[in-house]
Amino acid sequence: MKFKFNRIYFIYFLVLLGIEILIAIFLKSGFIRHTFGDYLVVILMFYLFKSFIKANDIAIGIVTLLIAYTIEFLQLTNMLSYFGLQRSKWANLIFGNYFSIQDLLAYTLGLLTVTSLEIKKRFQLNYSKK
Q: What is the pLDDT of residues 28-69, one digit of tens each?
A: 888 998 899 999 999 999 999 999 999 999 999 999 999 999
| Confidence category of residue 86, pLDDT binned at 50, 70, 90 | confident
Mean pLDDT of 15-35: 92
Has residue 115 got a pLDDT over 70?
yes
Closest CA to 51 of 118, 1, 111, 5: 5
Mean pLDDT of 104-118: 97
- Compare 94 and 110 and report the one with higher pLDDT: 110
Q: Which residues of 77-90 are buried (b: 16+ CB within 10 A; e: fewer)?
A: eebbeeeeeeeeee
Mean pLDDT of 98-125: 93
Q: Helices 57-74 and 101-128 sit at what angle, rounded to 10 degrees?
A: 170
Closest CA to 115 of 31, 26, 30, 50: 50
